[in-house]
Structures are given as C-alpha cells and as structure tokens.
Amino acid sequence: MTIEGSHRASDAGAPPEIPPRRSTTRDLERYARLFAQRTQVMKSSAMRDLMAVTERPEVISLAGGLPDTRTFDSTTFASVMAHIAEAECARALQYGPTEGHADVRKHIVAIMDEEGMRVEEDEVLVTTGGQQVIDLVCKTLIDPGDVIVAEAPTYPGAVPTFCSYQADVVQIELDDEGMRIDVLEQQLEILDAQGRAPKFIYTIPSFQNPGGVSMSLERRRRLVEIASERELLVLEDNPYGLLRFEGEPLPTLFSLDGGQFVIYLGTFSKILSPGVRLGWSVAPRPVSAKMNLGKQAVDLCSASLTQRFVNGYFETGEWRGYLDLLIGVYRRRRDVMFEALEEHFPDGATWTRPQGGLFVWATLPDYIDTTDLLARALRDNVAFVPGRAAYLDGRGGSSMRLNFSGVDEADIREGVRRIGEVVREQVELYSKLTEH
Amino acid sequence: MSRVAVLKGGRSLERQVSLKSAARVVGALERRGHDVVEIDVGSDLVERLREAEADVAFIAMHGRDGEDGTVQELLELVGIPYTGSDPFACIRCWDKVLTKHALVEAGIPTPPFYAFNETAFRGLGAAQALPEIEERLEFPIVVKPASQGSALGIKFARTAAEVPKALLTAFSYDSKILLERHVAGHDLSVSILDSPDGPVVLPVVEAIAHPDDDFYDFVARYEVGRTHFACPAEIGFNSASGAQALALRAYELLGCQGFARVDLMLDATTGESFVLEVNAIPGLTTTSLLPQAAEAAGIDFDSLISRVLELALARAAA
C-alpha cells in the first residue's frame, strides 16, 4: 500500500526526495481561513453521514433516486460502442462544442417533441446532467441574497446548489395538485411589500421529486401567467415527464408558455442512463447565451464519448421501446409499494399516489422524527430519505421519501415491512411515554 | 516497520466519521513506512483478519462494534494486538449509564441522572415517574441514548411537553436512555495519551458553538468552521487543571489504555467541572479534538498515531 514502494530509482541517479505530506489540524485552520463565504452555507449534514451506512450490501435502500440500469440491454450497449470504435473513435475522444454535438441536439428536439414542445436545435444547450442546468441557471441569475422560489418539499439535490449561490430560498407547499399557486401569489405579494422579487421559480411539475405529485393543468396555466405578468423566470425541471404509468399527459410549462419565461431542463438520466451524465436546457436566447458562457467556465463542454453513445443509441430507434419497458417495470414496483404501505404502515400515516416517476412521499404522525427513525431503521437494515433533506427551513421532519424504481419487488415489500414495523414500534412507545 | 491492519467503517451510524479517521490514520502510518492493510469491517472480519497476517491492528472505528468492545474481543481471539482499550474498558465507556455509575461510586462529579430501558416505559409505566424526575433534574433536561457517540440522538427538553419526543428520539438510537441535568457553561474535552511512563493529560479544548446552533451537535462536530475551538481553552489555570485532574481519574477508573477523550462541562456559575462521558476511540478526523489537543502539546498527527501504535505493540510484548 505504500506509495514510496512504487517509486523506482531512475537511471539519472537517486529518486528525488518527496517532501512529507503534512496534515495537521493547524493546517486545517489555515485552510479554513481561506474558504470563501459561500462555503459557510454549504451544508454537510448528519443525515448524509447516516446515509453512508445505507451503501452497505445488507441494507435494503429505498433511499436512492436511481433508475434501474439493470434493465438496459447490454448487447445494445456493446453494438453502439463498437460502432463508435469503428466509425468515430477520434471524435469520441475529442473536445466538442460547448452547446453539444449537433446530432445529440437533434435527438433532444425529437424527445421534447414527444411531450408537445417545439424547439429548434440551436436553442438546445447540452449539459453535464440536469444538475448542471440548475447550477448554470443560478450562476447566471443569482447574486447573494437573491430570492429563489421552490416547492416544499423540493428536490434535495437542488438545496446545496441554491445554498452555494447564497440564495434566499422561499418554499411553497405542495398538495395533491402540485405547488399551491394561491400560496405562491401570497408569498409574491409579501416579497413585493419588501421590495423584492424572486429571480426564478424552481419546480418539478410532473411526478415531483420528492413529493411524487403532479401539478394540475389549471395550476400550470396560472403559474405561466404569473411568470409572464411579473416577468419572472420559471425553471421547469422535467426528468420524469415521459415516465407516466397512467392518466393523460399534461402539457409542460414550457409548451404552455412557448419558451418566453420558462427555462426547460431535460435529462437522459431517467430515460436512458444517469451514467452518461447528460442533460440539457432550453432557455430564452439571452439567458441561454449567458449559461453557455457559464458552462465554458465550468467544463468547456460535456463529454464527447457519452454524447457519441447517446447519439448512437437514439439512432437505433430503440428508445421508445426501452421507455415502455421502464414504465412497465416501475409501474409494477410502484403498485407493490402501495400494497406494502397499505399493509404495513399504521393509521395516521399518509402517502402520495404518483402516476409516474420514481418516488412516494410518506408522512407520519408529527411526533415521529424521520431522521431519528432512519437511525433506528438502519439497525434493521433498511433506509429511506428523511424529509428534512427536502427543506431548507427545518420542516419535513415527519416525512420520508421512498424510491421504488431502483429496488426489485421483493425488496420493496420487505423494506416497507421493516420500516412499517419500526414506525409501529415508535407509535406504540410514544403512547406509553405520554401516559401520565 | 510493522504490517498494520487498519479497521474502519463497519455498520455503525458513525461509519462516515470512521472512514475519515481511518483515511488520516492510513496516511500517517504509510508516511512512517508501515505496511498498511485496510479492512472495512463486515461479516468477513475474522477471515480477513486471519488473511491479513498483521502484526497489529489500528482500530479507527467509532460507534457500535468498534467502540463497544466487540472488535477488541475478536482481536483477542484471533491473537492480533490492537490499539486502545481492552473490551472491559470499552464496554464501560460505551455505556454512559455504566460510566456514570462508576463515576458516582468513585466520587467523580457527573451531572445527576436517571436511566431507563425501553421496557420500563413499555411494561412498567415509567412515564408515571416523569413528573418527579423532571422536578428533581429541573429543566432544561438532556435526554440521551446510553450509547452512541458524536452527539447522535441527544435532545434538550425545555418543558415537560418536550420530554416524550426527546425520549422517543433517544430510544431510536438505543434501547437504554438517560435523562440528565443540564450543566450550563463551557463544553470541554480533555484528551489523554498514554506513554511508557504513564498517561499524559493533553491541554483542554473548548468547543464554542456557532451562535445559530442549539448545542454542540453532530453537524457542528464534523463541519469545518461550524464550531470554533479554543485550544488550550481560555478558562483559567485552576479550572483547566481541575478538569484535567478529573479526566485523568476517569480514564484510570475505567481502565482505558492507549488514548481516550473525556468530555466535561464546566459550570459557568459555580466553576465546578462534571464528567459527561469517556470516549474509548476518540475521533481522528481533521476537525477532531484529540489531534488538536495533541498538536497543542507539540505532538503532530503522525507522531500521535505512531505513539498509539507503539503502545499497542509494547502492551502485546509485555
């Protein structure tokens, strides 16, 4: 294991002396003084440390947000890669344009068309995962103290991004029809009174992460109107729109607004693979131009190799079939999760009933803290995401996010059974603790 | 130079902290020329220990299995010398209720407390006794699981209404809990490092919480810049030496070996120090207190780790 062992004396003589690597707490203090202000708000949470235990093989983790990549046909993978090796090896290994390979953008136009959105290829910015869009939008729009409106709960992965740009995040609660637009309007008026306005409203209208709910058509229309009336931007994050198991598709905010005030965020992560790390945005051109500059500063361009893979794969025309396969698998898993929740969760627990996507959001009696519950559940080798991860203001303490896409049916059943048992135990103990 | 098995990770809730400690320990050992085998502790531990053919094990684990004497017992069985305390001392440190009973018996000040198993509430109606406990301890009351490190599961109850929820939290981490009188004042840590001439008490560290934080909690403990540390603590010579003397007595009372960290509260009004707990395997991360205290005493991290390793080897030889 020693590093020194791998160094060999060169012909030129003795190996150069390697200065010892110092690592002391005083050094740490010294570096800490160099940290930027924004690192003060970058949160490393207790929860994240607890989550480290969930990676262990004996743990059934309903905590992930993972699509099931085991469903992907490896022969397709091999033939696409073989084609790249034969026909476009040099290109796959080369830098590419910041905005992405033209043929990948062409496929993105087709994918968006599938959900009723009409865009031009040159409007698309290919990014390194959808996550980079959130970062680039913040980089483009947010100065410290600027307001972002998000849903409550919101996508846990957006929280550190918002925090690192020192945004002031206002969260608007959800119900079964998505973001409460009436509450949004009240909040906007409160901000008006303070002489403030949000730079953008961040929403996942379809099969929200973590809530699982979808915004109703009426609310979608009203949100787009508000954006236009107030000239606010909306960041529509739509990773799951095509993963609908039942019910009529709803128009995206982007299609309702025609791309005037809506920045659209798409991703290949849930319809193909998160491993390719490719997403995209379509934004009003002046915003997109700034985002492009921002992306140049971050990574010059997204990976050419995976863009070649995505192009090759979409050229095969298999993607719709694969999407149908995913929908079938996830629908069954969701149904199993519903059955298990019904059977094992006690009275007083509620959960959302998503018609697509990857997640169910369950809420327990308010005296149960799901972060503590996770510690208890880990003793029984089962994990979930505590609700607090989806809030910036300490709310969500009695809720949890449960993933059904990345775990097989037997594990979903067993995982929910174990969580249900621990919850029942807590409910019973609490009633004993309050007996006086 | 020795072949050292560094035990890390495991199933504990402090797995992540352990991985951070272990990474630093491995670095220090390699810089001193040791041959290191890292073992993420799991169901194949005994087998891996046998395969490793290590001269000595460095236990860089925190929380259950690593700090509760389990891994130590297995190492005794396999016949590999190891760093830190033996199983009996580990057990006494790991269970705060055992620790506190031992302290009380030895006349070492520790805040008044009441401890219960879950069964007391489930089957014996202990909830009926809560009003009396609350009256005797006075609010705010600290409710904590008997085991667990890193302040996991610890809650403050400011009113009677907050007690059941705080108990429920503590019971999420252990089936045994304690309710303890809160001592308002300075949050101190005294680390002790053995030497061939006997244990050496290191300078006192004070943790000064971020104004937004409720108390010195799990998040603050591991986040750079979140909690400010004063080392040596600026609490005056008498208070510091008083805390150090108590810490050493606690260390010896519980039979600790190699190193340990004793956590205390210095009452801001009376100036009296109280021992809260003793950690048999103190954190060794970049924000941990033992390395800070060692450094304040002129012992850098690599020397600290070497010393702990040498003590383990010397103990085995003797």
Q: How many CB atoms lie within 10 A of CB B318?
A: 5
Supply the DSSP symbol for B160: G
Claim to verify: residue B102 and residue B226 sit in the same structural domain: yes
Contact call for residues A313 and A323 (beta carbons, < 8 A): no
pLDDT digits (tens, 9 = 90+) for B128-159: 999 999 999 999 999 999 997 767 888 889 99
pLDDT digits (tens, 9 = 90+) for A352-387: 999 999 999 999 999 999 999 999 999 999 999 999
Chain A residues bordering chain B (beta-carbon distance below 8 Å): 1-4, 20-26, 28, 32, 35, 39-40, 43-46, 48-50, 52-53, 56, 58, 367-369, 372-373, 375-376, 378, 426, 428-430, 432-436
pLDDT top residue among B232 and A183 = A183
Catalytic annotation, residues of B: 14, 150, 222, 261, 263, 277, 279, 283
A433: which residues sit within 8 A by CB, 6+ positions away? B121, B127, B163, B164, B167, B168
List Cα–Cα distances, A154 to A205, A265, A302, A372, in angstroms.
11, 15, 26, 21
Query: What pLDDT, on a 0 to 100 scale, did the predictor assign at position A23?
Result: 46
Query: What pLDDT, on a 0 to 100 scale, did the predictor assign at position A1?
Result: 38
Interface probe for A, chosen from B3, B133, B172, B231 (most Cβ of A below 10 Å), is: B172
CATH of the domain at B34: 3.40.50.20
Amino acid at A332: R
Burial A310-348 (b: 16+ CB within 10 A, else e): bbbbbeeeebeebbeebbebbbebbebbbebbeebbeee
Claim to verify: residue B103 and residue B240 sit in the same structural domain: yes
pLDDT digits (tens, 9 = 90+) for A1-60: 334 334 444 444 555 665 555 444 455 556 767 888 777 665 555 566 667 777 778 899
What strands, in cross-sheet order, belong to the sheet with B141-145?
A: B113-117, B176-181, B141-145, B155-157
Cβ neighbours of A432 in B, within 8 Å = 121-122, 127
Bridge partners, A279 (sequence order): A127, A267
Q: To the nearest whole percent, how much of chain A has pLDDT over 70?
A: 90
Residues in chain B with pLDDT values less than 50: 216-224
**CB–CB of B218 and A49 under 8 A?**
yes
Claim to verify: residue B197 and residue B288 sit in the same structural domain: yes
List Cα–Cα distances, A80 to A100, A105, A115, A220, B247, in angstroms.
19, 18, 26, 39, 66
Query: What pLDDT, on a 0 to 100 scale, did the predictor assign at position A344?
Result: 97
Contact call for residues A266 and A280 (beta carbons, < 8 A): yes
Claim to verify: residue B234 and residue B273 sit in the same structural domain: yes
Of B16, B38, B128, the CB nearest to A49: B16
Claim to verify: residue B202 and residue B307 sit in the same structural domain: yes
Measured CA to CA, the distance from residue A67 to residue A69 in angstroms comes to 6
A407: which residues sit within 8 A by CB, 6+ positions away? A60, A61, A62, A64, A333, A415
Report B:280-309 residues touching A (Cβ under 8 A): 286-288, 291-292, 295, 300-301
Contact call for residues B142 and B81 (beta carbons, < 8 A): no
A342: which residues sit within 8 A by CB, 6+ positions away? none
Q: Does A74-316 carry CATH code 3.40.640.10?
A: yes
Give the nearest chain A residue to B226 (CA atoms).
A40
A247 φ/ψ sector (left φ>0, alpha ψ -120 to 50, else beta): left
Domain hosting residue B187, numbered range: 92-109+183-317
Ranges of CATH 3.90.1150.10 domains, chain A: 46-72+321-433
Give the nearest chain A residue to B43 (CA atoms).
A58
Report B:33-52 residues touching A (Cβ under 8 A): 33-38, 42-43
Measured CA to CA, the distance from residue A41 to residue B11 in angstroms comes to 29
Query: What pLDDT, on a 0 to 100 scale, did the predictor assign at position B11?
Result: 87
DSSP string, B105-146: HHT-----EEEEEHHHHHHS-GGGGHHHHHHHH-SSEEEEES
* Secondary structure (3-state) at B67: coil
pTM of the model: 0.86
Query: What pLDDT, on a 0 to 100 scale, did the predictor assign at position B205?
Result: 94
Domain end, chosen from B137, B165, B181, is at B181
Of B28, B30, B292, the CB nearest to A2: B30
Q: Which of B285, B124, B99, B257 is nearest to B192 (CA)?
A: B257
Claim to verify: residue B218 and residue B302 sit in the same structural domain: yes
Cβ neighbours of B13 in A, within 8 Å = 49-50, 53, 375, 378
pLDDT (mean) for A181-206: 97
CATH of the domain at B307: 3.30.470.20
Report B:244-273 residues touching A (Cβ under 8 A): none
**What values do phi and psi take at B261, rounded to 5?**
-125, 130
pLDDT digits (tens, 9 = 90+) for A250-301: 999 999 999 899 999 999 999 999 999 999 999 999 999 999 999 999 999 9
Q: Å from B14 to nearest chain A CA? A: 7
In this structure, what token pair is assigned to residue B174?
């252990």
Measured CA to CA, the distance from residue B284 to residue B300 in angstroms comes to 12
pLDDT digits (tens, 9 = 90+) for A99-128: 999 999 999 999 999 999 999 999 999 999
Q: How many residues belong to chain A? A: 436
The helix (run of H) or strand (run of E) holding residue B276 is strand B273-279
Measured CA to CA, the distance from residue A399 to residue A345 in angstroms comes to 13
Query: What pLDDT, on a 0 to 100 scale, did the predictor assign at position B150?
Result: 66
Domain end, chosen from B152, B181, B210, is at B181
Claim to verify: residue B159 and residue B289 sit in the same structural domain: no
**CB–CB of A21 and B37 under 8 A?**
no
Question: How many cross-chain Cβ pairs, A to B, lie less than 8 Å apart?
Answer: 126
CATH of the domain at B136: 3.30.1490.20
Claim to verify: residue B157 and residue B194 sit in the same structural domain: no
Claim to verify: residue B289 and residue B240 sit in the same structural domain: yes
Bridge partners, B113 (sequence order): B180
Q: Which of B81, B311, B69 is nearest to B199 (CA)?
A: B311
Task: Tell me the helix, strand and coil percentages in chain B, rounded to 5.
Answer: 40, 20, 35
Of A25, A375, A434, the CB nearest to B127: A434
Q: Does A46-72+321-433 carry CATH code 3.40.30.10?
A: no
Residue A84: alpha-carbon gap to chain centroid: 29
pLDDT (mean) for A396-405: 95
Burial A290-308 (b: 16+ CB within 10 A, else e): bbbebbeeeeebbbbbbbb
**CB–CB of A369 and B169 under 8 A?**
yes
Q: How many residues belong to chain B? A: 318
Measured CA to CA, the distance from residue B176 to residue B170 in angstroms comes to 8
Contact call for residues B301 and B24 (beta carbons, < 8 A): yes
Cβ neighbours of A421 in B, within 8 Å = none
Contact call for residues B318 and B94 (beta carbons, < 8 A): no
ipTM above 0.85 for this complex: no
Q: Which of A405, A403, A404, A369 is nearest to A387 (CA)?
A: A369
Claim to verify: residue B160 and residue B212 sit in the same structural domain: no
Rounded-to-10 torsion of CA B81, B94, B189, B25: 40
Domain end, chosen from B181, B214, B234, is at B181
How many structural domains does chain B have? 3
Claim to verify: residue B79 and residue B219 sit in the same structural domain: no
Q: Which of B168, B174, B182 is nearest to B145 (CA)?
A: B174
Claim to verify: residue B47 and residue B148 sit in the same structural domain: no
Measured CA to CA, the distance from residue B17 to residue B27 in angstroms comes to 16
Query: What pLDDT, on a 0 to 100 scale, did the predictor assign at position A194?
Result: 95
Interface probe for B, chosen from A364, A433, A434, A435 (most Cβ of B below 10 Å), is: A433
Report the DSSP pairing between strands A233-237 and A198-203. parallel
Question: Residue B140: is the preceding peptide bond cis (ω within 30°)?
Answer: yes
Asked whether residue A429 carries a pLDDT value surpassing 50, the answer given is: yes
Query: What pLDDT, on a 0 to 100 scale, did the predictor assign at position A16?
Result: 60
In this structure, what token pair is assigned to residue B216?
């010195």
